């Protein structure tokens, strides 16, 4: 502090020091925790994809990673609070690349949206945010919600007013015409002029990405205008890929990131789409970088298993932040999970998922981990780790590849790889850890033992630090 440098402190400096001392005495002890922290002893999986680093040491000053080394190469200086990670795997905080914070697993959208539209900013979205954070998700993309609640929650998280992951928002969907009753979170675009105006409005408001749906129904000129306006505002475009023509049109207009596996019960992607994908992935940086895809398979793949054993619906982790009447309403909607209209086609889609996802991977698409978290039966405290487990345990994906899809690559797509996505010098201190070998048992991520975001510890030894919330 500047007042320590002067040999004869001025009255102003004495006053500043006195105020500091008085304020410190009034602060809760949890807020006086050391701003210098050292995570010592664990195996570091840093997000870069190379060999993990045994017996790691991570020095953190405030909210930034200061140095990374090992117990043999990096001594912990005096004054650092030492947090043992012995016996643990230490990873970058996870990304949830496709979440819906305005949803909390309720089975009936026609009831949910009108009933809770005035409770989004003050209850529903903050509850979703803290549930994600405590599940080890330190960055999330919220893809589709009314604009004002999205902005409010994003700002509150940034200002430290409420806990949650770093939030990257799209605000409302952009589509040809909103479905009846969805106008508050779906915006219709019917002309080039309207496309430019609405994308500019979203960009100026402070969204981080543009979400496009049903672009196959738009004219080519209007769909292209949406993408061009987004790119002019330095925003990436994510687009639905449920229908073959959404993919074809999306590739034509330059969508950066496709969402979902789509094509309902079709066994695979058509040959012409596969040829177009390979043509696009062959261009790489010439086309603006890799082509990204968030397949969101977990909710579909695990649905039949959940119906057979619905005990996971009773996990109270998803109650956090919600009012008792909200919890009761969600529970009632899920009383018969095997009878949900939303999911009736899902058992027929499930057998097609592995082949489609492998088609995408083999075509050179960079896959991202996202889950559609918040849709019926899918709670924010459970979804992300389940997606990783499906990729590794069911599809046979390499665990390191899968972890990078949930850490490094989302940060690259969103243009924040200089800040997050890896554990390395100069990055923000978004770090999680689990007991055991996560490269052998990916489902250890269902119980993240340690969560740090922005240098603040929210979970340690498997216990939530309530005073940090």
Other beta carbons within 10 Å of 116: 18
Domains and CATH numbers, the chain: 28-92+421-441+448-457 (2.30.40.10), 94-413 (3.20.20.140)
For residues 189 and 196, give the distance between their C-alpha atoms in angstroms, rounded to a whole number.
9
For residues 342 and 340, give the distance between their C-alpha atoms in angstroms, rounded to a whole number.
5
Look up residue 390 and give its DSSP letter. Answer: I
For residues 236 and 269, give the distance between their C-alpha atoms in angstroms, rounded to a whole number.
24
User: What 3-state DSSP class applies to 69?
Assistant: strand
Pairing between strand 450-453 and 431-435? antiparallel
Residues 113, 182 contacting (CB under 8 angstroms): yes
Look up residue 17 and give its DSSP letter. Answer: H
Other beta carbons within 10 Å of 179: 11
Q: Which of 206, 194, 195, 198 lies closest to 169 in space, CA to CA?
A: 206
Sheet holding 81-84, edge to edge: 64-70, 56-61, 36-40, 81-84
Rg of the chain on CA atoms, in Å: 23
> Torsions phi, psi of 176, nearest 5?
-60, -45
The total number of residues shown for the chain amounts to 469
Q: Scan for tokens 């993240």, then name that residue.
A: 448
For 244-270, give the DSSP string. HHHHHHHHHHT-SEEES--STT-SS--
Q: Is the pTM of this model over 0.85?
A: yes
> Torsions phi, psi of 431, nearest 5?
-140, 140
Residues 6+ apart with CB under 8 A from 307: 337, 338
Q: Scan for tokens 């959404």, then name that residue.
A: 246
Segment holding 346, helix H or strand E: helix 346-349
* Residue 34 pLDDT: 61
pLDDT, block means (10 residues), the chain with 469 residues: 34 38 39 76 97 98 97 97 98 98 97 97 98 98 98 97 98 95 95 98 98 97 98 98 97 97 96 97 84 97 96 96 98 96 94 98 98 97 97 98 98 98 98 98 98 98 96
Measured CA angle at 155 (ends 151, 161), to 5 deg:
135
Going from the C-alpha of 257 to that of each of 14, 32, 121, 209, the distances in angstroms are 56, 42, 27, 10
């Amino acid at each position: 502090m500047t007042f320590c440098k002067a040999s004869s402190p001025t009255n102003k400096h004495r006053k500043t020091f006195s105020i500091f001392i008085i304020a410190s005495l009034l602060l809760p002890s949890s807020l006086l925790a050391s701003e210098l922290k050292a995570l010592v002893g664990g195996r570091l999986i840093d997000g870069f994809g190379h060999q993990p680093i045994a017996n790691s040491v991570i020095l953190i000053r405030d909210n930034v990673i200061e140095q990374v080394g090992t117990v043999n190469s990096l001594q912990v200086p005096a004054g650092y609070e030492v947090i043992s990670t012995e016996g643990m795997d230490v990873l970058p905080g996870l990304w949830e690349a496709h979440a819906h914070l305005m949803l909390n697993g309720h089975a009936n959208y026609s009831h949910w949206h009108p009933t809770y539209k005035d409770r989004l900013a003050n209850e529903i979205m903050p509850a979703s945010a803290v549930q994600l954070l405590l599940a080890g998700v330190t960055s999330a993309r919220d893809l589709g919600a009314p604009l004002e609640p999205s902005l409010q929650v994003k700002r509150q998280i940034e200002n430290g007013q409420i806990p949650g992951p770093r939030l990257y928002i799209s605000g409302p969907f952009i589509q040809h015409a909103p479905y009846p009753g969805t106008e508050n979170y779906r915006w219709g675009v019917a002309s080039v002029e309207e496309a430019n105006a609405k994308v500019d409005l979203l960009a100026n408001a402070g969204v981080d990405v543009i979400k496009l749906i049903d672009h196959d129904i738009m004219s080519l000129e209007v769909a292209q205008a949406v993408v061009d306006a987004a790119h002019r505002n330095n925003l990436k475009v994510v687009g639905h890929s449920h229908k073959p023509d959404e993919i074809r049109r999306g590739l034509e207009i330059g969508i950066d990131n496709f969402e979902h596996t789509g094509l309902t019960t079709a066994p695979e992607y058509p040959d012409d789409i596969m040829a177009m994908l390979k043509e696009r992935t062959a261009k790489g940086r010439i086309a603006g970088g890799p082509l990204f895809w968030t397949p969101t398979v977990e909710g579909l793949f695990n649905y039949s298993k959940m119906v057979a054993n619905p005990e996971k619906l009773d996990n109270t982790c998803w109650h956090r932040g919600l009012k008792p009447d909200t919890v009761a309403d969600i529970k009632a909607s899920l009383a018969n999970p095997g009878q949900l209209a939303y999911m009736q086609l899902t058992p027929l889609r499930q057998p097609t998922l592995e082949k489609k996802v492998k088609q995408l991977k083999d075509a050179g698409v960079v896959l991202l981990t996202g889950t559609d978290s918040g849709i019926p039966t899918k709670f924010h405290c459970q979804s992300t780790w389940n997606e990783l487990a499906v990729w590794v345990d069911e599809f046979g994906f390499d665990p390191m590849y899968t972890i990078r899809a949930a850490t490094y690559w989302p940060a690259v797509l969103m243009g924040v790889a200089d800040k997050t996505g890896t554990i390395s010098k100069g990055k923000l201190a978004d770090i999680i850890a689990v007991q055991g070998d996560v490269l052998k048992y990916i489902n250890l991520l269902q119980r993240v033992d340690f969560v740090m975001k922005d240098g603040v510890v929210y979970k340690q030894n498997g216990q939530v630090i309530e005073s940090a919330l």
